[in-house]
Structure 1
């Protein structure tokens, strides 16, 4: 299903034309809004298992998939998900605080030389097809270092891509650095699945909806887990999902 179809379905939800399995819903119950609050969903950690990513296609809403570099299904996942109309980002691994946690191949570290950081990020971008933006994977240590973030972001900016701060630490400087560099940038509002339970994911989706109503838009990040996909789809079957519009992350950034 291509992007136009997804957006048409999102508009149909807002107009109250469909509900759940296709039962008509009264337009009086869900009146159309001129500028409905917007939600962008990012699913991180794509690249290890394409089938887990494909579960999210059943939601039939715009979703941005962030793909890890240099893992077994990175390239195939990017190609397949883009072919279904979705946006693709690079999920750039960055150094965490814990030395016991491996951020994975293609990672950058605080101790790396500037030229090494630039080369690694540039190569990660080049190896993934259809990449239009970047967000950080882990990086609780790395993103707290403004100078190191600037070195990484130069490679992103030089290729005309936007950056999404995953906010893996509340002390992250990534968003502020990107703004100072004049980049298109934004940061996530909440994670959907810190608790791996369908009911918890549904609660987080409701929190995301409330944030969208309060601020006009909200960004949620999830992971390719069965409970996450199920929680999102169950939320879409509730009346609460009808008064927001689901959009791609690039559409959120365009309005900054």
Structure 2
């Protein structure tokens, strides 16, 4: 009772002895520092002792089946550390197969695995699917895909893919002829299809290499018996403000680089009789850069059409030196794309043919151009002039 009595009798405003409180042995800042230190230690330990050279990047695993051995047993995969013999290095995969090199990201070891691949005709970057009516003897493999070449027996793409019959060529030898080339096709399926289907089969079609599937459109054109040209983008005077497109042949590049770019263009589709410049007023006027291109085209059995856009072009004299089929367009039919002006250009082309025996006109696939050319050709032969494929006009010009 003493304690109770003392509390009751103590003077007001005077507290008794203070009560003890529980206190942590460290402060909040100290606890925060310790926690951050632990996080740092864990992170460093993970980085040092976890063997992940890819740094946590997303990975995937792909199962690759080895081709069966002759005994139908799975082919054994050699250890990554085993060095291949010289015979193994020289071995080539079978046709229709590819060799894939697998590199171990941890150890850097390499292992070659043979897997089923595309048909050799279609192998290569940007190469199209196999096209109908392509002579396999006229194909050569490049790093971009298959490109044309003259066959060992002398057959050339210029002759193999030319349209028209012997009777047509014999008839063309006796009367004036006109060839018309519609260029810029392949980009824009609708306008390309219009040119293919609405124009006579004797009209030659020029395709650029840039369409999403140029091979399919070229195949359709050839099915409709049109001759086909590959238009190769070349440097114009106002390049790069006026840029023909990727892999353009340039006067600032060496011969080897330009030929490599040419091979890319050549691989985009097949079945063409020759090349034509796509733009390129500066390039075709420069002998040093143009000569290797003409030589390469001649070696591969192709003809060449100069679009006539510049009088300074050296293509003609270079082609003559290579004894390759060559022609130069005489009239741009839709330089002014109106019905009246196109009709005037067609009349001028007809007069040239009557005066010289052969004439070549070029146009684009504008609806008005297709319409006026289609109407004009229907009555052309009744006026004593024959519409022929480009190869026929080329050969007649050479012989006359």
TM value normalised by structure 2: 0.54
> Structure 1 residues 241, 206: CA separation in 2 closer, same or farther (over 3 Å shift)?
farther
Task: Tell whether 2:220 aligns with 1:80.
Answer: yes
Cα contact 1:163–1:185 (8 A) shared by 2 = yes
Q: Secondary structure at the match of 2:259?
A: helix
| Equivalent of residue 135 in structure 1, options 265, 276, 281 | 276
Deviation, 1:231, is: 1.2
Identify the match of residue 185 of structure 2 among 26, 40, 46: 46
Q: Which of 202, 222, 225 pairs up with 2:343?
A: 202
- 1:17 aligns with none
**Deviations 1:156-183 (Å, cap 9, x if unpaired)?**
1121101111122111111111112222
Q: Distance in 1 between matches of 2:249 and 2:365?
A: 23
- Structure 1 CA distance for aligned equivalents of residues 315 and 184 of structure 2: 19
How does 1:182-221 map onto structure 2 within 5 Å? Answer: 182-221=323-362
Greater displacement, 110-119 / 207-216? 110-119
Task: Judge conservation of contact 2:380–2:386 (CA < 8 Å) in 1.
Answer: no
- Structure having the higher helix fraction is 1
Distance 1:93 1:241 in 2: 38
Partners of 2:380 and 2:209 lie apart in 1 by: 38
Cα 1:78–1:97 change in 2 (3 A) is same
Q: Secondary structure at the match of 2:281?
A: coil
Q: Deviations over 1:113-168 (max 9, x none)?
A: 11111111122112211111001011111111011110211221121101111122
> Is the partner of 1:129 in helix, strand or coil?
coil
Partner residue in 2 for 1:173: 314
Point out which structure has higher relative CO (alpha carbons under 8 A, 6+ apart). Answer: 1
Name the stretch that deviates more: 108-117 or 240-249: 240-249
Q: Closer, same or farther in 2 for the Cα pair 1:60/1:50, shift >3 Å?
A: same
Q: Which of the residues 228, 241, 253 maps onto 1:112? A: 253
Answer yes or no: is 1:58 the counterpart of 2:221. Answer: no
The Cα shift of 1:72 comes to 2.3
1:247 Cα deviation after fit? 0.7
Q: 1:119 to 1:235 in 2, by over 3 A?
A: same
Of stretches 52-61 and 41-50 in structure 1, the one that deviates more from structure 2 is: 52-61
Does 237-246 or 173-182 show the bigger shift?
Answer: 237-246
Match of 2:175 in 1: 36
1:61 Cα deviation after fit: 4.2
2:300 aligns with 159
Any conservation in 2 of the 1:94–1:136 contact (CA below 8 Å)? yes
What is the CA deviation profile of residues 186-212 of structure 1, one whole-angstrom value per residue up to 9, with x for unaligned ones?
111011111111221111111100000
Secondary structure of 1:127's counterpart equals coil
The alpha carbon displacement at 1:4 in A equals: 5.6
User: Cα deviations across residues 36-62 of structure 1 (Å, max 9, x unaligned)?
Assistant: 210011111011123212323323240
Q: Find the aligned partners of 1:241 and 1:58 in 2 and give their Cα distance.
A: 20
Unaligned runs of 5+ in 1: 15-32
Q: Compared with structure 1, are the counterparts of its residues 183 and 165 closer, same or farther at alpha carbon in structure 2 (3 Å cutoff)?
A: same
User: Is the CA contact (8 Å cut-off) linking 1:64 and 1:89 kept in structure 2?
Assistant: yes
Q: Which residue of 2 aligns with 1:92?
A: 232
1:60 aligned counterpart, secondary structure:
coil
Contact 1:61 1:246 in 2 (8 A): no
Shift, 1:238, TM fit: 4.7
| Paired residue total | 232
Q: Is the 8 A contact 2:175 2:384 kept in 1?
A: yes
Shift of 1:251: 1.1
